[in-house]
């Protein structure tokens, strides 16, 4: 396997030499995250303008080889638990395994095998004595939560003590179209968010950034807060973050990182809704 030192600025899915399993250092999770990439063809049903996936295209994943996924996860955990992965690949200060995260190069729940993959991960973690020690996370745009199979997979994550990070970058249809390339309506997103929170502990994750030098408009921020407000009692909290790695989409030259002070001011407004907020400038 390639001997490349991991860093927070690089979340390459190729660092392990595997098809479905890849390690990253996650600044939000606080250590080494074992990524599960169910979209190895770089296809997603959204097109977020800050996305770091190269050659991103619209669509869904190919059929998932669950047997290969299981072998890869087994091999990787053996490398971490019994090999030299931590000492040769991870900088000091980040040498702790924190989660297994369904993330990758597209929307994980678009894979028909998603609920089976959740069960597979639970089985492998149990085999390595890591059940209940590593949290299982789903990082999702929430767009497919009306599907019963997706709900079943999320409910399984919830029952196992895992959690969901639900993408919510805007509060208006125009904002969602501009940032995420989706025709989603705020009322539909709100319903899906409530459904998700009822199935598993759910954090909202929101990426904020400058576009053409300007911070998000106050109208957009108010709409986003208004969408959060009714869901607040059911949510675990909000991950508020800016750009840590460059976008690989055509809008990249127009995007810029927001200052920590600006983000803390927004976080204070979210806290007024009764929500926990974690800020990653």
Q: In angstroms, rounded to a whole number, what is the distance separating the alpha carbons of residues 121 and 74?
A: 10
Q: What is the pLDDT of residues 87-136, one digit of tens each?
A: 888 887 777 888 999 999 999 999 999 999 999 999 999 999 999 999 99
CA dihedral 126, 40, 208, 239 (to 10 degrees): -10
Work out the angle between the directed axes of helices 173-180 and 186-199 (0-180°, nearest 10).
80
Long-range contacts of 112-116 (CB under 8 A, 24+ apart): 112/63, 112/64, 112/149, 113/38, 113/63, 113/64, 113/66, 114/38, 114/149, 114/150, 114/153, 115/149, 115/150, 115/152, 115/153, 115/156, 116/66
Q: In angstroms, rounded to a whole number, what is the distance separating the alpha carbons of residues 263 and 222?
A: 15
Sign (positive/negative) of CA torsion 51, 57, 58, 60?
Answer: negative
pLDDT at 175 over 90: yes
Q: 131 by DSSP, 3-state: which?
A: coil
* pLDDT computed for residue 142 by the predictor: 98
Backbone angles phi, psi at 98, to 5 degrees: -115, -30
Q: What is the pLDDT of residues 219-236, one digit of tens each?
A: 999 999 999 999 999 999
Sorted by sequence, the CB contacts under 8 Å of residue 67 that are 6+ apart come out as none
Q: pTM of this prediction? A: 0.91
Kind of pairing between the strands at 202-207 and 163-167: parallel
Kind of pairing between the strands at 163-167 and 210-211: unpaired
Per the DSSP assignment, residues forming a β-bridge with 137 are 101, 163
Confidence of residue 6 (pLDDT cuts 50, 70, 90): low
Q: Where are the domains of the chain?
A: 21-279
**CATH superfamily of this structure's domain 21-279:** Aldolase class I (3.20.20.70)
| 5: its two tokens | 């030192």
């Amino acid at each position: 396997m390639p001997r490349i030192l991991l860093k927070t600025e690089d979340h390459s899915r190729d660092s392990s030499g595997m098809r479905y399993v890849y390690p990253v250092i996650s600044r939000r999770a606080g250590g080494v995250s074992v990524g599960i990439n169910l979209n190895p063809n770089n296809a997603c049903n959204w097109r977020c303008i800050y996305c770091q996936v190269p050659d991103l295209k619209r669509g869904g994943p190919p059929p998932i080889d669950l047997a290969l996924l299981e072998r890869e996860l087994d091999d990787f955990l053996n490398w971490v638990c019994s090999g030299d992965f931590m000492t040769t690949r991870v900088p000091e200060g980040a040498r702790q395994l924190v989660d297994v995260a369904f993330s990758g190069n597209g929307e994980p729940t678009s894979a028909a095998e998603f609920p089976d993959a959740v069960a597979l991960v639970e089985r492998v973690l149990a085999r390595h004595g890591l059940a209940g020690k590593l949290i299982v996370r789903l990082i999702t745009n929430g767009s497919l939560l009306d599907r019963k199979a997706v709900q079943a997979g999320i409910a399984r994550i919830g029952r196992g003590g895992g959690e969901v990070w639900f993408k919510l970058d805007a509060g208006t249809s125009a904002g969602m179209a501009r940032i995420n390339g989706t025709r989603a309506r705020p009322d539909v997103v709100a319903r899906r968010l409530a459904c998700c929170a009822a199935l598993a502990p759910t954090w909202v994750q929101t990426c904020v950034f400058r576009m053409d030098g300007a911070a998000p408009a106050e109208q957009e921020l108010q709409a986003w807060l208004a969408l959060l407000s009714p869901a607040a009692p059911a949510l675990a909290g909000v991950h508020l973050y800016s750009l840590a790695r460059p976008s690989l989409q055509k809008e990249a030259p127009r995007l810029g990182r927001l200052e920590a002070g600006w983000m803390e001011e927004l976080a204070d407004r979210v806290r007024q809704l009764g929500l926990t907020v974690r800020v990653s400038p």
